[in-house]
Structure 1
Amino acid sequence: MAGTAVTHRGAGPLPPVPTRRPTRRPTRRPARRARRGRDPRWATLAWLGPAVLLILGVVVYPVIALVRASFERYSLTGLSKGPAGTGNYQAVLGHPALGGVLTNTAVWVLTVVASTLLVGLAVAQLLSKEFAGRRLVRWALIVPWAASLVITAQLFTLLYDYYHGIVNTVLLRLGVVDTPVDFLGDDRWAMPSMILVGVFVSVPFTVYVLLAGLNSIPGEVYEAARMDGAGAWRTYRAITLPLLRPAVLVATLLNVIYVFNSFPIVYTLTNRSPGFVHDTSITFMYKLAFRSAERDVGMSAAAGVCNVLLILVVVAIYLRLVKWGEEQPS
């Protein structure tokens, strides 16, 4: 029997045989319940939730409200008077000042962005070199970018003033002009004066983007080019520009969006101009609602929808032309 001693011939009693008791396997909790508390998707949702709500409240809802307002009629006090169908869009597309506004917008965006890239590239090249006072120059470059656009535009309004502006005072004393120049009232000078301000406030951001791109280029590449006998211009054309292409694309894309939507500069500088002579599409939309004879909120909303579609088309064409996402040269 189990647990009793067994005798054997010629030997003593054998040790007792231990009995085995059935062992119970430890119970495991269901895998689903164990994984549910550690599911990374819940943690991701907790972190992204506030940002998603902010985007819904600041971007999505205003877009929906804008589109809805573009199909309604409003009184002078802003009260809805019922649906308008596509009448607001027909009124915007048939507006007599639309052609001039679109021309001003194209000249404004293309000239400011192109000039900003050229000036920004030159300044970024300078700031990438070692020289005395480089840190001070970098700090000073932030000031036009950090300052309010309204304050900067108002400052240039004072500089361009016909009677007491510093620009006219300097030009008269140097003998460049005989009479003061109406920089913001004369049609020949209004757009160039606006473009100068646009470039002034856009250069700092562009310089820092291009400077980051220049600093990311390995020094070994330039050393290898020098060993191969490449000159300065060939090195710049074959190495610097291709490797700087991602930074140039980003700077161009963001500048197109910023300059297109630059309401404070255009409105502040052209506030005294009658009608829509010097306006771009962004100030045209505002004046339709608050400053023009129409004062139609629904028409202004329709112009706003057209502005959004226009900038999306421009960005899409630009990304198509530059082949966004294409592998960069290594």
Structure 2
Amino acid sequence: MSEQTTAAPPAPPPPGRPAPSPRASRPGARNTLARLGPWPWIGPCVALILLVVVWPVVEMVITSTHKISGLGIDFGFNGAGRYQKLFADPRLGAVMLWTIVWTVLVVGFTMAISLALAQLYNQQFPGRRFTRWALIVPWAASVIVTSIGFRWMLDEVAGVLNRLMIDLGLISSAQNWTGDAAHSKPWLILVAVFVSLPFTTYTLLAGLQTVPGEVYEAARVDGAGKWQTYWRITLPLLRPSFLVALVINLINVFNSFPVIWGMTQGGPNTDTATSTVFMYVLGQTDVGEAAAMSVVNFAVVIVMVLLFLKVSRWNEEN
């Protein structure tokens, strides 16, 4: 009689460890996340960009092709009529010229002063922590509140600047500092630089603090002077932070609205209005023309940034 062998029953799973699920053991279920790739992580970001950026741009372009009154009454499709009206406006040339001058001067002064402040705050000196905190104040306060505060400070009747300058004998009578473009434009630039300094300074300061100390030690050993070290080591290594601060400042200043609106509302007439403020002024009578101005602003920003990135060779690593 031959011996019959019976297969041993499968060993139970060790205590404390659950038995593997049949669903999890299937190759299709195990590779689901692998097939999706990065989409579970970047999908919400893409959806947010489509909702917050792409959809408003599409609506803006559609609106610019319609004739819409300041009360919101849509008179129907108008094609390029709103653009023709915009480019025929005699105020547009002066507004765009002032916008370019405003952007160049504000960004230029902001970058130069912020670079000096970042160098200062990167040094060790008594009270450095408190001075850093003080620099945050213009950033923490609302820009429109800061602008209105400066407007009242410059007021012809109740402004403290006139009172101070009269007491010091600098002027003989009170001046209307925001009453005309010649007086108000320098103050607009000053306030815009004032509110832009904190972000730019801290961006450059963060870049300075990433420069390894060993690089400076090697430069001193090689006999490099302070200016040689600054031009050949500090500035090249600060380039990524400098470019980020510069691009963001270009976009923010070009699109700036609260400073000018809070101080002069673009007046008198539209003498101090940039393209963004001019767009708001147009929207009070013709929404379609304001949308056309928005499309022009958007196109200018895109071209400006692309040209800047090409000239600065953003992706080139030295």
Contact 2:107-2:249 at 8 Å conserved across structures: yes
Matches within 5 A, 1:1-330: 2-3=2-3, 30-36=26-32, 38-39=33-34, 41=36, 44-271=38-265, 273-290=267-284, 295-328=285-318
- SS, match of residue 73 in structure 1: strand
The residue identity in structure 2 corresponding to 1:217 is: V
Q: Secondary structure at the match of 2:240?
A: helix
Further displaced range: 101-110 or 169-178: 169-178
Residue segments in structure 2 that go unaligned for 5+ positions in a row: 11-21
Q: Classify 1:264/1:165 alpha carbon distance in 2 versus 1 (closer, same or farther; 3 Å).
A: same
Measured in 1, the distance between the counterparts of 2:29 and 2:226 equals: 65
Measured at CA, do residues 102 and 219 of structure 1 come closer, stay the same or move farther in structure 2, by a change above 3 Å? Answer: same
Instruction: Look up the equivalent residue of 2:289 and give its one-letter code.
Output: M
1:107 maps to a residue whose letter is V
The CA RMSD measured in Å over matched residues stands at 2.3
Q: Which consecutive residues of structure 1, in runs of 5 or more, have no partner in the other structure?
A: 4-17
Q: CA deviation at 1:2?
A: 4.8
The whole-number CA distance in structure 1 between the counterparts of 2:79 and 2:169 is: 59
Say which structure, 1 or 2, has more relative contact order (CA 8 Å, 6+ apart).
2
**Alignment TM-score, normalising by the size of structure 2:** 0.90
C-alpha spacing 1:166/1:280, structure 2 compared with 1 (3 Å)? same
Could you give the per-residue CA deviations for residues 243-285 of structure 1, whole angstroms, max 9, x where no partner exists?
1111111110000011111111111111272321110000000
Query: Normalising by structure 1, what TM-score?
Result: 0.86
Does the residue aligned with 1:299 lie in a helix, a strand or coil? helix
User: Residue 2 of structure 1 contacts residue 19 of structure 1 at CA under 8 Å; is this kept in 2?
Assistant: no
**Structure 1 219/69 Cα, relative in aligned 2: closer, same or farther at 3 Å?**
same
Give percent identity, aligned residues only.
Answer: 45
Q: How many residues align structurally? A: 306
2:29 and 2:242 map into 1 onto residues whose CA distance is: 50
List per-residue Cα deviations over 1:303-327 (Å, max 9, x = no partner).
0000000111111111111111110
Aligned residue type for 2:232:
A
Q: 1:169 to 1:278 in 2, by over 3 A?
A: same
